[in-house]
Amino acid sequence: MKKKVVPVVASVLGASLLLTACRGNKDNASGAKANDKIPDKQAINLSFASEIPTMDVAKATDGESMNVMRNVFEGLYAMGEDNKPIPGVAESVDVSPDKTKYTFHLRDSKWSNGTPVTAKDFVFAWQRAVNPDTAAEYAFLFFDIQNAKQINQKQLPVDQLGVKALDDKTLEVQLDRPVPYFLSLTTFSTFLPINEDYLKSQGDKYGLETNHLIYNGAFTLDNWKHEQSFQLKKNPKYWDAKTVKLEEINFNVVKDKSTEVNLYDSGQIDRVALTAEFVDKYKNDPNFKERAEVGIQFLRLNQKNAVLKNQHARLAINGAMNKKAYVETILNNGAIPAEGMVPAKFAKSPDGNDFRKENGNLIKDDVKSAKENWKKAKQELGTDKVTIELLTSDNALAKKTGEYLKGELEQNLDGLTVNLKPQPRKQQLKLLLSGDYEIGIDGWGPDFADPITFLDLFTTDSAYNFDKYSNKEYDELIRKVKTDLAGDEKARWEAMKQAEKILLQDGAVAPLYQQGRSYLQRGFIKGLVTTDFGGEFNYKWTEVAK
């Protein structure tokens, strides 16, 4: 989840807050348990980690909001199987030879109140998102559109944004440079349409209740009982309603994992993600599944700290932890040790090769080298004793993680003392954002299918470079990736590979693991599409079937 201010920058321990995702596919679970009763109607019951934080598409930065938005709204393109953008409100698109002008042709579609969805709805929503008065955390995603950055920095008026409604069914978007992942971006929640007249008619109440919202997606939000439950109901006005099989999806807000598992066991919910303590108990259940995800959990190493400013100290920390043992014993949920800052099975080169496979394992655990780097660091720092504070969340898994990392680092790096600082999630995020930490556990999920969504976190001027890392060569490579090389896919790809190598050779960050998910899901749930970004689940193709 990117998450900019961080419900999407989730911690290792706030699994529900990271923009989670799995390899996009339809999950055709089979082998339902004998006591799995197939519902008499097209309805499923699910749990939700929290209250829906917001239903304003310009304000969403968290996975919970985006999961709902993905199903009740639809953008120009939608995210389908295998993380591939497919036509949504846009029936087709024409792209100029230089790949900087996109002309979208909209199909006949309606809002849930019967009002037509038009190109003006996208112009309004996008102008509102980049308007600095909106304070949209994801405004930066529009910065490749002509004048977007200048508008957001109050240098130009919003009507200068490079997006025009040529007529009700034609939307023209002018980019400053080619953006290989632009269609993928249009599926993201911040790019969803808003009907201007309706929003203005609702005033400050817009998005706060179901009767202050209209929808253009496969479902509508209904029976929203804040902090308790809500429903998604099939939207009869949706342009592709004939494809939607589910009549309703019932969600209960469940914050305690033991309670959630008990609800599954008693047949009250049909799917549950499992934390480590439940995996062994259920791993032989026919409805048990594991999958790899593309979020990366990592240690932030704050270079405002004198010790962590030392490259040898950072490299020592990177190599001193047995990540394989950690994911197998503490997590036990399908997670794998990180091999870089860009996850595996996430982005493919122009030749179709996986980024992670091409760039290799850049962070192998190596205690011997870690000890050597630590010795050099202490010599350069002029001390034999070092104390560092590790900021974590305060839940049960956070405590286990903190203790494990403390043990590994203190055991392998002589003279190091790690003091744990567990904090409530909200306070942990506040401290990370303000740079008030030494080492901090953090996480990142992608906004779109391109390595730059991970790599641009660490440029000197990045708003998310809380660690104050700075490398001119790295900055220049990322600049070229976003500008000079935008039209040369192969050169751009090679530049991103080189940038990641520099990042890890500097020990700028300590990637821990690539997320995994273990879960139980009723065998009668078919066709559930899961994706890597912008909301985990798409229920459009889901159905109840044998």
CA distance 535 to 188: 8
CA distance 47 to 129: 30
CA atoms within 13 A on the CB side of 407: 10
Q: In what order do the strands lie in the sheet with 101-106?
A: 90-95, 101-106, 170-174, 163-167
Domain boundaries, the chain: 53-196
Q: What is the pLDDT of residue 499?
A: 99
Q: What is the pLDDT of residue 433?
A: 87
Q: What is the mean pLDDT of each run of 10 residues along the chain (546 residues)?
A: 37 32 38 64 93 93 90 97 92 97 99 99 99 94 97 98 99 96 95 98 96 98 96 99 98 92 96 91 94 92 98 98 94 93 94 96 93 98 97 86 97 98 87 95 89 96 93 98 92 98 98 94 96 89 96
DSSP one-letter code for 145? B
CA distance 459 to 479: 9
Q: What's the maximum distance between 2 C-alpha atoms anywhere in the chain?
A: 72
Query: HEC string of 352-369?
Result: CCEHHHHHCCCCCCCHHH
Classified by CATH at the fold level, domain 53-196 comes out as Dipeptide-binding Protein; domain 1 (3.90.76)
Q: What is the pLDDT of residue 267?
A: 94
Q: What is the pLDDT of residue 50?
A: 83
Q: What is the pLDDT of residue 21?
A: 31
pTM: 0.82
CA distance 504 to 508: 6
